[in-house]
Structure 1
Amino acid sequence: MERRTFLRGAVISGTAMAFGGTLMRGAAHAAPARPGVGPYGPLGAADSNGIRLPEGFTSRLLASTGQVVPGTSYTWHRAPDGGACFADGEGWIYVSNCEVNPGGGAGALRFDADGTVTDAYPVLTDTRQNCAGGATPWDTWLSCEEVDRGFVYETDPRGEREAVRRDAMGRFKHEAAAADPQREVVYLTEDEGDGCFYRFVPDSWGDLSAGTLQVLTAGSGTSGTFGWSDVPQPDAPVVRTRHQVGAAKHFDGGEGCHYANDTVWFTTKGDNRVWRLNTADSTFELTYDADLVEEGDAPLTGVDNITGSSSGDLFVAEDGGNMEICLLTPDDVVAPFLRIEDQSGSEICGPAFSPDGTRLYLSSQRGTSGSSSGGLTYEVTGPFRS
């Protein structure tokens, strides 16, 4: 392991809610998490895909960059990144971003009820460095451009409707998005060394064509209360959005973002932290910091994309580290769930569960080659607890 960490707090929601292929339930935790053996036991030997998994779990390679997805006519895109799952009749769809510039976008895999890939196709083309994003409650995928003054594009996972650029959501180095149906807002992270955390308040919930972009305001500490201020010029014609509000709180490289039952979790890769916002009482806290723990004490480094399972476990993907997805359980145990061997020049992206919670999708962005032309997208199946 590289740098070790401790984790304080967990994503646990009180009522089950479908969002981006994720179901969350449980209760919030505040005690420090402890490294230990996870609910699925230790990792076994690497399988034929080079993935180490707990006993009872298996992996399947679904798509490889530059190759036609088996059973379809679609050539899988380069640098697969953020993703989400959507119900589709008796089957489902997994959407995956393409993080290249120029020539970004997003593609999709369609599955039948048995998990067989029946189709693959583009849902967004000719954009720039589409990194992460987020699903909406009305079953669209928000694909975010991780470039200076980038845009958010709202796409149709089924590929039947043309993608729409959502200018009102602001122009900045977008990373991830998470919808909050209780407050009817969308949270947004910004991948800059002095980036901010935003929320978009649409004029009408379910329609992102118009609304107000706000930035989180708070003191310089790692916990306390927070507020929101309108960003005067979301299109940032001169001054970047992160510099328009003096009271805005800045974060070092915003990455993954996940909402569940009055709680927003987001990661900052620049300082290897996870933050928690309680949207019910407007408080925030630093719940993960790699610098606060002695080397060798915990199994999680390189925090990046995040998602959750029906049991209340939070799955955190590593960008770098030792190429693991680690989980944080409701009883405050941090443990590796999987590790990809011999792909140290890559990162794990796009973790998302099928709508029924029985399959986990993920990508190794650069695979064994270490380049955008080597991306690999996998499915993991097994006895996920519910």
Structure 2
Amino acid sequence: SCEETEIQAGEDWKKDHGYNFEVPVSETPKLTKPVPLRSMGRFSHEAVAIDPDTGIAYQTEDEGNGLIYRFIPNVKGKFHKGGILQALCFKSEHSMDTRNWKENKILLNELHDVEWITLDDVESPENDLRFRGAKNGAAIFARGEGMWFDKGKVYFTCTNGGKKKLGQLFIYTPSPSEGKNNENNNPGKIKLLVEPQDSEIMDMCDNITVAPWGDMIICEDGKGTDYLLGIQPDGTIYKLAKNALNSKEFAGGVFSPDGSILFVNIQLPGFTLAITGPWQG
């Protein structure tokens, strides 16, 4: 679970915030002691996606000049035992601005080799982790939000990326030697799959999941009526569902383990919906 804040201890707060926490999954809900995972960094966390094979955790940062992070744990599956926090960097150009706000530097479907730079002082008492990372070569992203790992790929959204600030969808394919000393010999690769120029097609993508048939399912957080969108592997976008209740965002879309039910929230008034199939890929 992520804290989407950088609030520090002071008059109104007893402790610094901006950490991840592990929440045990069980059939019987119960309270657990909140232990901040300090080595994963203190920043405005939005989402975490974990590669079950390597145990590496990938993280988004909900800032207009945020970074994409990965955390390599010292012990697989035990994040509280510490690890190394790194930020994504384009090999072709350090401190790459992927937002495409002023200049179209990242083109659709172009593959870019990636390297990762190790960060220090990750609890960031000055709330400057992303600034130090970018200065040292990390790529800059526009409000990294939803993130999902599926079949060897990391999918993530940038809510107001692109010339029209309508959002971007990136796909990162980890190296076969991800997190190992020789990964630069066969580096991971990133590409921009979606960057619409029309709000009727997509208006500020947020949370993301991957459907059993391989399409990406996006929750909009736009300025008007919000939709659940489907995105095919070739980048084709279609409308899946409309929030006919109000103008609040969809959030937290996820399929049941058997793939038959899509659960999704409407942030306010706090509804959880169960959308049943049969689904057709």
Find the partner of 2:40 among 169, 172, 183: 169
Q: How does 1:191-270 map to 2 (within 5 A)?
A: 191-209=62-80, 210-218=82-90, 219=93, 220=96, 221-222=105-106, 224-238=112-126, 240-245=128-133, 246-270=136-160
Match of 2:168 in 1: 273
The secondary structure found in structure 2 opposite 1:252 is coil
Match of 2:207 in 1: 305
Match of 1:43 in 2: none
Find the partner of 2:266 among 343, 347, 364: 364
Match of 1:341 in 2: 244
Distance 2:245 2:55 in 1: 43
CA contact (8 A) 1:169 1:200 kept: yes
CA contact (8 A) 2:194 2:235 kept: no
Match of 1:181 in 2: 52
Runs ≥4 in structure 1, deviation > 6 angstroms? none
2:190 aligned with 1:284, yes or no? yes
Match of 2:255 in 1: 353
Distance 2:203 2:60 in 1: 19
CA contact (8 A) 2:19 2:42 kept: yes
Distance 1:350 1:205 in 2: 26
The one-letter code sitting in structure 1 at the alignment partner of 2:151 is N
The one-character-per-residue Cα deviations of 1:249-292 (angstroms, maximum 9, x if unpaired) are: 1111110001122311111112211111121342212211123x
Distance 1:189 1:343 in 2: 28
The secondary structure found in structure 2 opposite 1:244 is helix
Higher strand share: 1
CA contact (8 A) 2:43 2:127 kept: no
The one-letter code sitting in structure 2 at the alignment partner of 1:232 is D
Match of 1:150 in 2: 18
Distance 2:31 2:73 in 1: 21
Q: How far apart are residue 301 of structure 1 and its match? A: 2.2
Q: How far apart are residue 227 of structure 1 and its match? A: 0.7
Distance 1:147 1:332 in 2: 32
Match of 2:270 in 1: 375
The secondary structure found in structure 1 opposite 2:130 is helix
Distance 2:142 2:245 in 1: 29
Distance 1:261 1:361 in 2: 21
Q: How far apart are residue 183 of structure 1 and its match? A: 3.1
Distance 2:232 2:158 in 1: 21
CA contact (8 A) 2:65 2:143 kept: yes
Count, aligned residues: 232
Distance 1:144 1:330 in 2: 28
Q: How far apart are residue 244 of structure 1 and its match? A: 2.1
Find the partner of 2:232 among 324, 329, 335: 329
Q: How far apart are residue 195 of structure 1 and its match? A: 0.4
The one-letter code sitting in structure 2 at the alignment partner of 1:145 is E
Q: How far apart are residue 239 of structure 1 and its match? A: 5.3
Q: Unmatched 5+ residue regions in structure 2?
A: 7-16, 97-104, 162-166, 176-186
Q: Give me the CA root mean square deviation.
A: 1.9
The one-character-per-residue Cα deviations of 1:164-200 (angstroms, maximum 9, x if unpaired) are: 3211111000000000123320000000111000001
- Pick closer, same or farther for the CA change 1:378–1:244 going to 2, 3 Å: same
Q: Normalised by the size of structure 1, how large is the TM-score?
A: 0.57
Distance 2:213 2:151 in 1: 14
Match of 2:184 in 1: none
Distance 2:228 2:276 in 1: 14
Q: How far apart are residue 329 of structure 1 and its match? A: 2.9
Distance 1:356 1:174 in 2: 29
Q: Normalised by the size of structure 2, how large is the TM-score?
A: 0.77
The one-character-per-residue Cα deviations of 1:298-325 (angstroms, maximum 9, x if unpaired) are: 6322211010121112111101253111
Distance 2:55 2:75 in 1: 9
The secondary structure found in structure 1 opposite 2:39 is helix
Find the partner of 1:317 among 219, 222, 228: 219
- Pick closer, same or farther for the CA change 1:243–1:352 going to 2, 3 Å: same
CA contact (8 A) 1:300 1:336 kept: no
